[in-house]
Amino acid sequence: MPAALNEVKRRISSTQKTAQITTAMQMVSTSKLSQIQHHTSGYQIYAAKVESVVTHLAASHLLDSGSVSTPSTSSNDDVPASGLMTQRPVKKTGLLVVTSDRGLVGSYNSNIIKSTNDFMHQHGGSQNDYVVLAIGGTGADFYKKRGLNVAYEYRGVSDVPTFVEIREIVKTVVAMYNNGVFDELYVCYSHFVNRLTSRFRSTRMLPITSDTVIDTKPDGDESGSAKAAAAGINITPEYELEPSAEEILQVVLPQYAESLVYGAILDGKTSEHASSATAMQTASDNAHDLIGNLSLQYNRARQSAITTEITEITGGQAALE
């Protein structure tokens, strides 16, 4: 067999093996996507309830600075509520950037990093005015190489993250905020819309105030209170609080902070699995197209070689006659 045919045959075999790998990876990513979507659907009910409570507290001005005196200690040992409402002049802005630890996820990581960089540019200031808290190795490595202050990084987030591991992240983030490492915090991540579409979001997490709870809704998704305020309607809900506003805030605010971070990481992981499944499907389709083209090329070359051999035999036989 000619050397050219052997090379084409080798490429066909190699591409077939690659297609088998990408197809298997697509099936794994699709399975992970199904698992995390099932897990997220139950969590979203809880998150919506917590957000509803905090939104009503904000509408009743319980989150306004000075309206409630939060105790210095919290009944929640993991996430203290005392510092979540503390407002101070913004000298450093924290960015909690959620990316993946690995590649083979299409444009997932590049879109998040590009959009986060655009957010910093629009927000203003130099790179020294920002502190990066990286969830995922890709974002951590990217910003480290470019000289930004990566004050915290967390690698190895589970494919379907548990609430326990996220609480440790929230606890660390709140402690850094209380210690003055940054003066405000935005969570930057990829929001899952559907299997083919994701949308970048940057949600302000700290400090928790009436304005950030009511008015800062991703993608223009305003609460009913915010829409009423925009229409010039002044809503002042009245509540009978038991045991007290202080103790209610001690429970609700940490849960709200946890729900923001956990929801963002769940959302980002869902988008990651969807992007990985789509990328592997595209790779498999491209491999099959390449195999088809190579097979056609191989068959044509083989047919040409056979035709040449037949012609030579016929010509030799004619010469003998």
- In this predicted structure, what is the pLDDT of residue 188? 93
Nearest to 104 by CA among 273, 224, 247: 273
- In this predicted structure, what is the pLDDT of residue 114? 94
Instruction: Give the pTM.
Output: 0.77
- Alpha-carbon dihedral angle through residues 153, 109, 282, 5, given to the nearest 10 degrees: -80
Nearest to 170 by CA among 68, 63, 94: 94
Helix (H, G, I), strand (E, B) or coil at 218: helix
Could you give the domains of the chain?
Answer: 31-277 (3.40.1380.10)
Sheet holding 197-206, edge to edge: 149-154, 130-135, 93-98, 184-194, 197-206
- In this predicted structure, what is the pLDDT of residue 227? 41
Q: What is the pLDDT of residues 131-150, one digit of tens each?
A: 999 999 999 999 999 889 99
Q: What is the pLDDT of residues 220-236, one digit of tens each?
A: 444 444 444 444 444 44
